[in-house]
Amino acid sequence: QMQLQLWGAGLLKPSETLSLTCAVSGGSFGGYYWSWVRQAPGKGLEYIGDIKYSGSANYNPSLKSRVTISIDTSNQQFSLKLTSVTAADTAVYFCPRQVPSPTGLPYLDYWGQGALVTVSS
């Protein structure tokens, strides 16, 4: 069974850089896109971006100037960096797998537990 283990600093001060890593085990790492999604407390889901096994990344335009997603294929993990965080970046961050769909648009199947990151002075 695929597992997505997410780790990183859970408490940040404003202007610091959020850094999270998601390790994939129990399944194939290659051939997929790997995504980042966040959910502010009591709010909806927000797509942050994704990265292909080859290293090609896509970002939500609203976050693009602050986000970098990278991948480490040798260790089957991928990472998220978000610079200049503010309280608005407080959220649970998820690292779901993006699956090519036979009908067209890829979808997110395995999500993992998610991790809360709080930004507070």
Partner 1 sequence: QSVLTQPPSVSGAPGQRVTISCTGSNSNIAAGYDVHWYQQLPGTAPKLLIYGNFNRPSGVPGRFSGSRSGATASLAITGLQAEDEADYYCQSYDRSPNGHYVFGTGTKVSVL
Stretch that binds partner 1, among 14-22, 24-32, 43-51, 69-77 (CB under 8 A): 43-51
Rule CB under 8 A: is residue 111 a binding residue for partner 1? yes
Rule CB under 8 A: is residue 94 a binding residue for partner 1? yes
Rule CB under 8 A: is residue 38 a binding residue for partner 1? no
Q: How far is the CB of 45 from partner 1 (least distance, A)?
A: 4
Site track 51-90 with partner 1 (rule: CB under 8 A), x = hit: -------xxxx--x--------------------------
Q: Are 97 and 112 in contact (CB under 8 A)?
A: no
The bridge status of strand 18-25 relative to strand 77-82 is antiparallel
Cβ distance to partner 1 smaller for residue 15 or 56: 56
The encoded tokens of residue 110 equal: 């395995």
- State the alpha helices, DSSP H only, in 15-88: none
Q: Hey, what's the torsion of the CAs at 43, 41, 49, 7, to 10 degrees?
A: -160
Among 1, 101, 120, 121, binds partner 1 (CB under 8 A): 101
Angstrom distance (rounded) from CA 8 to CA 20 = 5
Contacts of 26 (CB under 8 A, 6+ apart): 1, 2, 3
- Binding residues for partner 1, rule: CB under 8 A, are 37, 44-47, 50, 58-61, 64, 94, 96, 101-105, 107-109, 111-114
